[in-house]
């Protein structure tokens, strides 16, 4: 079985983006909006957007299931206030819930959280509980920088975040650490802000005792861990200099990278230095890169090809990356698949 742990609804019906534009223009004032309770989207429109785009590619590449969340760049927690973020998050999460209901064999749902700069992370807990306990979501996306490139909130190892971690442990769900769009012109969102976020959070955790405090917390840093694998020696050295655990030991059963790395040498490097048990298969299709590599004739985001061709991975390693590790990290997904009689051998 092959599970893609990192998918976004990037082909959502156009009514969703139009509603968001209306909300922003109205500054969240429901009385000034054409449809204050959300966009009108039919089940057939959802089917059309997926069967005409993402699902055929997923099936063509042999991916059995994608862990699916709202479009990351559109989470936009830096836009408006907390009330706007709450309404937008609920609408996006409800849409993802509908996707998972319509296509239970293809998608498992993950939620965005109604964060807002300067607002205590504890305020997102009701929406997290609603999605997990009432709607069957298997995880969440947690934005380390709701300010959209200005990093005005405390580091993720600060007590500011601890109420969310406590609930993640209680619910037994992981969080993918994923920034959203950038409003800082110094950082293009997908090529700079995303990688900055990934790398910065890794260093925050390396220089902390977070997992001693929360031993059952599971976090996923996407995009191959940002710059971390390429600078693995730097982080090992920093850990030793600062009397911290080395990266592989620190990651343990708590921290994981995905395979959204869009070339063979990058995957070979990551899977060569990062413990295989800490690597989860992902492609983020369709996501940051949609073009075809002119050198190979293959789409950059066809990441399964890189795993299959990585010379130092054996069959057991590949199966761990493709499904085994993900089922450990997402126990509610494992239970969901068991209900469908789809747990891999």
Active site amino acids:
284
The three-state secondary structure class of 110 is strand
SS3 299: strand
42 CB contacts (<8 Å, ≥6 apart)? none
CA 171 to chain centre: 17
Show the tokens assigned to 275: 């413990």
Q: Which residue has the tokens 């609930």?
A: 167
Is the dihedral angle over the CA atoms 143, 175, 141, 268 positive or is it negative?
Answer: positive
Strands (E), the chain: 3-8, 65-69, 107-111, 139-142, 175-177, 219-221, 255-258, 279-280
Q: What are residue 250's phi and psi, to 5 degrees?
A: -60, -40
Q: What's the burial of 121, exposed, middle or buried (CB within 10 Å: 0-12/13-18/19+)?
A: buried
Cα distance between residue 311 and residue 194, in whole Å:
28
CB neighbour list of residue 212: distance below 8 Å, 6 or more residues apart: none
Sign, CA torsion 78/84/85/89: negative
Cβ of 126: how many Cβ atoms within 10 Å?
11
Q: Which residues contact 201 (CB under 8 A, 6 or more apart)?
A: 144, 156, 177, 221
Strands, E, within 118-227: which ranges? 139-142, 175-177, 219-221
Distance CA 283, CA 66 (A): 9
Length of the chain: 345
């Amino acid at each position: 079985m092959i599970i893609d742990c990192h998918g976004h609804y990037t082909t959502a019906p156009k009514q969703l983006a139009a509603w968001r534009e209306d909300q922003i223009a109205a500054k969240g004032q429901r009385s000034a909006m054409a449809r204050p309770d959300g966009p009108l989207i039919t089940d057939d429109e959802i089917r059309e957007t997926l069967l005409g785009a993402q699902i055929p590619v997923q099936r063509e590449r042999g991916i059995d299931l994608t862990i699916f969340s709202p479009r990351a760049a559109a989470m936009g927690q830096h836009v408006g206030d907390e009330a706007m973020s709450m309404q937008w998050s609920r609408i996006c999460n409800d849409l993802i819930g509908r996707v998972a209901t319509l296509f239970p064999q293809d998608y498992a749902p993950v939620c965005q959280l109604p964060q807002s700069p300067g607002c205590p992370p504890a305020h997102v807990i009701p929406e997290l509980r609603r999605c997990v306990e009432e709607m069957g979501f298997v995880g969440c996306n947690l934005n380390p920088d709701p300010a959209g490139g200005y990093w005005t909130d405390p580091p993720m190892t600060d007590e500011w975040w601890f109420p969310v971690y406590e609930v993640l442990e209680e619910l037994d769900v992981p969080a993918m650490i994923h920034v959203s769009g950038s409003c800082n012109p110094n950082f293009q969102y997908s090529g700079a802000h995303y990688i900055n976020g990934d790398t910065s959070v890794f260093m925050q955790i390396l220089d902390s005792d977070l997992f001693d405090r929360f031993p059952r917390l599971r976090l996923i840093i996407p995009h191959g861990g940002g710059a971390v694998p390429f600078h693995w020696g730097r982080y090992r050295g920093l850990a030793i200099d600062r009397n911290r655990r080395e990266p592989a030991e620190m990651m343990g059963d708590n921290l994981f990278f995905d395979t959204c790395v869009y070339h063979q040498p990058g995957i070979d490097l990551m899977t060569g230095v990062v413990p295989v048990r800490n690597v989860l298969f992902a492609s983020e299709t369709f996501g940051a890169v949609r073009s075809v590599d002119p050198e190979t004739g293959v789409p950059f985001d066809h990441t399964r090809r890189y795993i299959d061709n990585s010379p130092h991975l054996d069959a057991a390693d590949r199966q761990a990356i493709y499904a085994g590790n993900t089922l450990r990290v997402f126990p509610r997904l494992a239970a969901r698949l068991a209900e469908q009689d789809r747990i891999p051998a």
